[in-house]
Structure 1
Amino acid sequence: MRTVYTRVRSAMTPPMADHRPALRVALGLAVPGVALLAAGRPDLIIYAVFGAITGMYGRTDTRRRRFAHQTQGGLILVLGVAIGVALADSHVAPAVLVIAAVAFATVGSVVTDYLALKPEGPFYGVFALGAIATVPAGRVAPSSAILICAATALLAVLLGILDAPRGSEPATRLPVPDVRDVLLHASRYAIAITAAGAAGVALGIDHANWAIAAAAGPLAAADASGRIKRGIHRLAGTLIGLVVAAVLLVPHHHAVALGFFTPLIMLMTDLAKPTSPLNLLTYRGLDTIIGVTAAIAVALLLPGRERAAT
């Protein structure tokens, strides 16, 4: 029993190195979040959330490489938010959102593979695009929404520089990925997101952008087995997160919800576009099942060669 307990504890405990980037992301969101709350605009925090995600990039890199990777990641996030704002302001049909997400993810997959960004893949940019595209237009000027995201991303980059480990840059350059592998990987995103988004729209499920995000999440893994495992982990993690969200959001424990990723995103969605918490939970669960199913199906159909982890 002691051995089993030790293994479970080891698997569930994050490495010590993960605490510093987590604190940076939290601080990067806390500053604009408090400012927006003080201004009486909690509905705009969703734009800051995606800017703060910039702090997740380059978490173990030295200063120069972290600056480059966080800048690149921040630009992808701001672009995703900008496209989402434009789609929301144009009142586009859900099908147009799916097409935009497919195009963004396909191009983003190629770009992130060549830049060797970590976290891998275009997931966060796609997530930003879809989530922001569903925010009702007219709450704030599009330029102001983009500025909130960009300013938060800049804060995240500055925090990353200040907290970067001191040391010499590695002498070896990052390997250039094979063109065929990059294109095959991009095609997985295109197929999975098309399938998930189309299914969500066809079934008439609200917040089909979550199905798109759920399909994009698992595909960053280096091989088919890893993609399937990530899909299962994402499904399980989201379902657990929904339980936490139900406990926190239904009785309106919003302050506590900010400490958990799934409740945080759902709270930001609810603040920007208020709806019944139970409906929100149901939509998120159904969309996650659709997206993960699409991702696993594509992982099985297009396994490809194993990609080297960067």
Structure 2
Amino acid sequence: MKAVAEMFTMGPGNKDHHPALRCAVGVFVPLITLMLIGRLDLAVFASFGAFTGIYGRNEPHSVRFRSQLRAGGFMLFVILLATLTARLAHSWGIEGVTYSWLLTAATTLVAGGCSVVVAAWRLRPGGSLFHIFAFAAIASIPAQPPLGEALLVAVGTTVLCLAIGMSARVVKSHRTPWKRPPPIRHIPAERRAIWLEGGGYLVAAGLAGTIATLVGERLGFGHTYWAMVAAVVPLVGHSTRHRVSRGIQRIAGTVLGLVLLAGILWLNPAPWVMVLVIAVCQFGAEMFIARQYLVAQVFVTPLALFATLLAAPVDPALLLRDRIVETVIGAAVGAAVVVAPALWHRAGIRRAAS
């Protein structure tokens, strides 16, 4: 009952409109610019570069700058790795089912490795969800744009988000003292926890990707990386109940978000409207992500799918189908990975007691 109640509970606000507005502007400006110059094929690189603005939302400016600089630079590395993976696979003639399995394996390594780096830097939001999404989505693009242009858009968007993150300093009442952030140090217990968490991301993403790829081969589903993204959602939380609840909220929010998306697509929106919807959804997601995860997912779902449609137009009906199927698979796997250790621990206590 607590898990059900949590799905309908709204947490307290903390000036959420400030980071929400920064993130919305950070994604809208690059996308509308690309639309005006007729280069929406580069939209996915701008969208993931804009993830820089998500980090350090309520931190003092000096700490936020360090967080966003690290997060943005690391995301650029993931973007570069993704596009190089796709180009090398194409040059080596790796495609079809073989490439699907290669992409699943590579994304699994990204899930575990990026989780370790993010935790070591104490970045918030934690985990490697954004890196999984960015790597797999870019590496899945069949026709990669010129490397220089793709990186220019990603770097330019990252720099823009860094500037937006510091923009409040021009207003004296919003300015925080600029002092060097303290170095990040970890005690041995924290280091063990970081590596254990990375292992959890590796297992959850790898298992979800494997199941989704097998199901996709037999039933014709695509976008298997969405299952990997959904699988790591339950790994964030302070208790097993809270983590399982996040998985349930992920599914429920995705369903509601798909209904919203279907209604928008029914109107056959022009590209500039899609860009505006992305910005509005980014604002909504950041407004609620820390307060009510289910509501945030209602905005995240159209945001993710519209970004996909701008980069590589496909049948929207297939996207809607793939999204819900892959989300259910991933959330179920993530919940299982979270619950399994708790059940094993309880079984051990019972064996010891008997």
Residue 308 of structure 1 corresponds to none
In structure 1, what residue type is equivalent to 2:198?
A
Counterparts of 1:263 and 1:76 in 2: how far apart (Å)? 25
In structure 1, what residue type is equivalent to 2:323?
R
* Kept after mapping to 2: 8 A contact 1:249/1:267: no
Counterparts of 2:134 and 2:302 in 1: how far apart (Å)? 16
Q: Deviations over 1:12-63 (max 9, x none)?
A: 4772511111111111112111210111122321211111111110011111
- In structure 1, which of residues 207, 212, 219 is the aligned counterpart of residue 228 of structure 2? 212
Q: Deviations over 1:96-116 (max 9, x none)?
A: 111111111111111111111
Residue 246 (1) aligns with residue 262 (2): yes
- In structure 1, which of residues 176, 179, 191 is the aligned counterpart of residue 203 of structure 2? 191
* Kept after mapping to 1: 8 A contact 2:230/2:330: yes
Q: Deviations over 1:215-236 (max 9, x none)?
A: 1223232332332122112111
* Kept after mapping to 2: 8 A contact 1:189/1:216: yes
- In structure 1, which of residues 283, 289, 306 is the aligned counterpart of residue 328 of structure 2? 289
TM-score for both structures, normalised by structure 2: 0.77
Matches within 5 A, 1:142-153: 142-153=147-158
Counterparts of 1:123 and 1:226 in 2: how far apart (Å)? 18
Residue 167 of structure 2 corresponds to 162
* Kept after mapping to 2: 8 A contact 1:43/1:268: no
Counterparts of 2:36 and 2:226 in 1: how far apart (Å)? 30
* Kept after mapping to 1: 8 A contact 2:240/2:339: yes
User: Offset at 1:65?
Assistant: 0.5
Aligned CA-pair RMSD: 2.5
* Kept after mapping to 2: 8 A contact 1:250/1:278: no
Cα 1:224/1:174, change in 2 over 3 Å = farther
Matches within 5 A, 1:49-88: 49-88=47-86
Higher relative contact order (CA 8 A, sep 6+): 2
* Kept after mapping to 1: 8 A contact 2:62/2:180: no
Cα 1:157/1:244, change in 2 over 3 Å = same
In structure 1, what residue type is equivalent to 2:190?
D
Task: Determine what percentage of the aligned residue pairs are the same residue.
Answer: 33
In structure 2, what residue type is equivalent to 1:230?
R
* Kept after mapping to 2: 8 A contact 1:25/1:52: yes
Unaligned runs of 5+ in 1: 1-6, 306-310
Larger of the two Rg values belongs to structure: 2
Residue 3 of structure 1 corresponds to none
Residue 190 of structure 2 corresponds to 178
Cα 1:302/1:153, change in 2 over 3 Å = farther
SS in 1 for 2:246: helix
In structure 1, what residue type is equivalent to 2:277?
A
SS in 1 for 2:16: helix
Counterparts of 2:15 and 2:48 in 1: how far apart (Å)? 22
Counterparts of 1:242 and 1:120 in 2: how far apart (Å)? 26
SS in 2 for 1:163: helix
